[in-house]
Structure 1
Amino acid sequence: MASHRRSSPAGPQGPARITLMSAAAAATAAALTAVPATADPGTGAGRTASHAKLTARVDALYARAERATERYNGAKERTAELRDQVTVLQDRAARAQERVNRLHDRLGAMAAAQYRSGGVDPSLALMLSARPADYLDKAQTLNRLGTAQAGRLNRLVDAERLLQRQRREAAGRLARLEEARRAVARHKHAVERKLGAARQLLAALPARDRAAYTRASRGARDGALPELTELRGLAGRSALAVAAARSAVGAPYVWGASGPRSFDCSGLMQWAYARAGVSLPRTSQSQRYAGRQVPLSQARPGDLVIYRSDASHVGMYVGNGQVVHAPHPGAQVRYDPVGMMPVSGVTRV
C-alpha cells in the first residue's frame, strides 16, 4: 500500500507521530513551506524539494497504514476462525448435555420404579446426587454397586466429565475470540488514523502537486498496458490467477477489501487465486509461506512477490519484469516494475 510510484522510491519506514488535530494542521502547513537552507523556495528546485519531502511523508504514512491493514486482516481472519471453533465446541457441549440429561432421566426412572415398589436403593439415590463421581469412588470401595448400576453410573460420570471439559474449552475460545475482536478494532483505528494523516498532508499540497501525485498513483491503465511476452503459452492455475489479477487493473484500492470491485494488496492475491480454485491465506505475511520459495531471478507469471522485510506488501508477477498489485488508498490496481521496492521473497503457489 505504500505509494509505489514509478517517479520516486518508497518513503522512510520509521514511526510517524502525525495526528488529525488542529495542531497537526499547523505542523503540516509549516512543513509545506520548509525547504533546505540551500534552496530558494521561489525557485523550481526549492518547490521540487518541498514537494518531494511532503510526498515522501505521505508515502511513509501509506506504508505504515499498509502494515496496520495487514494486522487488521490477520485479526479478522483469526476472529472468523475462532468464531467457527466456538460454534463447533458449543454444539458439542450441547450434545454432551443432552447425553447427560438422558442418563439422568434413565436413573430417575429407575428410582421412581423402586419408589413405587417400596423405596429407593440408597446407592441409586446417591447416583442422582450433584456429584456422582465422588459417590462412584466411595461406592466402589464399599462394594455397594451392582454391575448394571455401576455401568450406568460410569457412563454418567464420563458424560459429565466430557461436558465440563467441552464447556471449559468453549469458554477459553470465547475469551480468545473477544481479544481478537478487540485487536480488529485496535488495528482498524490505527489504519484510519494513519490514512487520515496522509489525506491531510495531500490536501495541503499545492493543486498541481496534488494532481501530479494522483496521476502517478493511477499507474498503467487499459491504454498503456505493458507488453507481457512471458504470458504466451501460460496455462493451468497460474494462467487463471494472472488473468484474474489483470482483469482487476483499474479497480480502486480499499483497505481490508478482497474483491470483486475493490482490493487491498493481499486481498487481490487471495481473490485472483480463488478464481483459479486455490485458497490463499488472507495476509501478505501468511501468503509468503503459501507455496515454494524461488529466487527472484527465476520468477514466473503467477508467482507472488513479497515486499519489505516484514512482508507487509505483495504483488503478482506477470512477466517481463512487471507485477500487478493494489498499491494504496487513492490508487488503483496497476502494473509496476517488480523492483519498485525491496523484494523479500518470491512464492510459487
Structure 2
Amino acid sequence: MLRRGVPAASVTAVACAAIGLVPAVGNAAPAPGTATAGFSADPRLAAEQHIADLYQQAEALTQQYDADQESIGRLQAAVAAESGQSAAAQSLLARLSGGLGRLAAEQYRDVGDTSSLTLLFATHPDLYLQRAVLNDRVAALDAQQVQSARVLQAQLTSLRALGQTELANLQQAHAALVEQRATIEAELAQARAQLDSLGFADRHVVAEALAEGEGGDGFGTAQSVHPPSLGALLAAVNTAVAGSGGQADIDAGRAQRAISAAYAELGKPYVWGAVGPYGFDCSGLMQHVWAKAGVMLPRTSQEQASIGPPVPLSGIRPGDLVIYFAGRTHVGMYVGHGLVIHAPRPGSEVQFAALRAMPISKIVRPDGN
C-alpha cells in the first residue's frame, strides 16, 4: 500500500490473527483443573501441559505483535511522506493561482476598452497583436499548470485518506493483539498460580520437565551448570571453519562479533516486543546481536527463517540461527558446544539452552547480503 506499506489484504489478515490467534505449534490447553479427552487430570501434568501450551502461544503472539508494530511504522512513514507531498502541491497551486490573480487584475485595468477598439487606436498594432498572443499563451499555460496541480492535489488527498484508513485499521488490529497479549499474560499467571499450588517436590518435577529438550515445553529454560566462556565460544567458531578460507573466514568473523554481542546480553530480561538495549524478545535479540556484526536481520522469527541458505543439522556452525517449532515462532543462535543463546519466554532472561531443547524447524546461516 502506498508503494512502501502493506496491502489492504494484509490488514485483514492481521485483524483476523488478532481476533483468534491459534499457533501452529499446538492448541490452547483447557482451564486448569479441567479434565478432557487427551488432557491429563493429574494436577501436576495438567499444570505442565497448560504452561507449555501457553508459552508457545505467547511466543507466537509476540512474533505477530512484532510484525504488526513494524507494519504500523511503515504506514506511518508512508502517510507522513504523502502529507509532505500534498503540502508541496498546495504551495505550488497557491503560487500558480497568485499568478492568475495578477493576470486577472491586469485585464481588469483594461476592462473599459474592448479588444477591437484597443487594436483600432493602437499606435503600433503589430506590437499589440504580439503582446495579445503572448498573454493568451501565458494564460493558457497558467491554466494548464493550475489544472495539473489540482489533479495532483486530488490524487494526493485520496492517497493520504487511504493511508490514514489503512493505518487506523492496522492500529485497530494492533489494539486487538495487545488485548490478547493481556489475556495470555493472565492465563500464564493462572498457570503459575496452579504450579505454585503444588507441593515442593511436584513443583520441582514440573520445572525440570519444562526445561527438558525433545519433549519438554521446548523452551529449554535451564542454564548450563558450567556455561562456556566467551573465549571458548569464539574458539569454536575458528574450529568450525578451519581450513575453509575465503567466504568462510568472513562469515566466521561476523559470527564471532554476533556471538560476542549475544554473550554480553546474557541475564537481560525477556520483554515483549523489545529489541534492546535493556530487554529482548527472541527475534529482537537476534536482530540486535547480528546488527552488531553488520548484518541487518528482519524483525520476526518467521522472516529470519528466510534470510540465508538453509543448513542441515549435521552442518550447523556457531552463529547460525536456529528456528524452532512448526510455526517458526521462536529463534535462538547456535554458539557451539551444543548450545544456543536465546530469550526464551515471558518471565525469563537471555540465557544458554541446549540446541535440541526445542523442536527444530529450520537452521539458516546469515549471509550478510
Equivalent position to 1:308, from 317, 320, 325: 325
Equivalent position to 2:28, from 16, 35, 53: 16
Q: 1:342 to 1:121 in 2, by over 3 A?
A: farther
| 2:92 matched residue in structure 1 | 99
Cα distance, 1:214 vs. partner? 5.9
List structure 1 segments (4+ residues) > 6 angstroms apart after TM superposition: 119-122
| 1:225 matched residue in structure 2 | 227
Q: Would you say 1:246 and 2:263 are equivalent positions?
A: yes
User: Is the CA contact (8 Å cut-off) linking 1:114 and 1:121 kept in structure 2?
Assistant: no
CA–CA separation in structure 2 for the residues paired with 1:53 and 1:12: 20
Q: Would you say 1:152 and 2:169 are equivalent positions?
A: no
What is the aligned-residue identity percentage?
A: 37
Pairs within 5 Å for 1:43-54: 50-54=43-47
Cα distance, 1:82 vs. partner? 0.6
CA–CA separation in structure 2 for the residues paired with 1:278 and 1:344: 22
Pairs within 5 Å for 1:125-204: 146-204=136-194
Q: 1:251 to 1:211 in 2, by over 3 A?
A: farther
The letter of the residue matching 1:149 is A
Cα distance, 1:211 vs. partner? 5.7
CA distances 1:116-150 after superposition (whole Å, capped 9, x unpaired) = 2226999xxxxxxxxxxxxxxxxxxxx9x933222
CA–CA separation in structure 2 for the residues paired with 1:176 and 1:204: 42
| TM norm structure 1 | 0.76
| 1:260 matched residue in structure 2 | 277
| 1:56 matched residue in structure 2 | 49
User: Is the CA contact (8 Å cut-off) linking 1:12 and 1:60 kept in structure 2?
Assistant: no
The letter of the residue matching 1:116 is R
Q: 1:98 to 1:210 in 2, by over 3 A?
A: farther
Q: Would you say 1:322 and 2:334 are equivalent positions?
A: no
User: Is the CA contact (8 Å cut-off) linking 1:65 and 1:190 kept in structure 2?
Assistant: no
Runs of 5+ unmatched residues, structure 2: 1-22, 116-132, 212-219, 240-248
Cα distance, 1:12 vs. partner? 9.7
Q: Would you say 1:236 and 2:238 are equivalent positions?
A: no
Cα distance, 1:171 vs. partner? 1.3
Runs of 5+ unmatched residues, structure 1: 1-10, 19-26, 38-48, 123-142
Cα distance, 1:218 vs. partner? 5.0
CA–CA separation in structure 2 for the residues paired with 1:305 and 1:104: 62
| 1:68 matched residue in structure 2 | 61
Number of aligned pairs?
296
SS in 1 for 2:174: helix
SS in 2 for 1:309: coil
Q: 1:114 to 1:336 in 2, by over 3 A?
A: same
CA distances 1:89-122 after superposition (whole Å, capped 9, x unpaired) = 1000100110011111100111011112226999
User: Is the CA contact (8 Å cut-off) linking 2:29 and 2:49 kept in structure 1?
Assistant: no
Cα distance, 1:292 vs. partner? 2.7
Q: 1:254 to 1:89 in 2, by over 3 A?
A: same
SS in 1 for 2:28: coil
SS in 2 for 1:345: strand
Q: Would you say 1:77 and 2:76 are equivalent positions?
A: no
Cα distance, 1:304 vs. partner? 1.2
Q: Would you say 1:28 and 2:32 are equivalent positions?
A: yes
User: Is the CA contact (8 Å cut-off) linking 2:29 and 2:53 kept in structure 1?
Assistant: no
The letter of the residue matching 2:179 is H
CA–CA separation in structure 1 for the residues paired with 2:354 and 2:182: 28
CA–CA separation in structure 2 for the residues paired with 1:107 and 1:74: 50
CA–CA separation in structure 2 for the residues paired with 1:190 and 1:100: 47
User: Is the CA contact (8 Å cut-off) linking 1:202 and 1:210 kept in structure 2?
Assistant: no
User: Is the CA contact (8 Å cut-off) linking 2:29 and 2:50 kept in structure 1?
Assistant: no
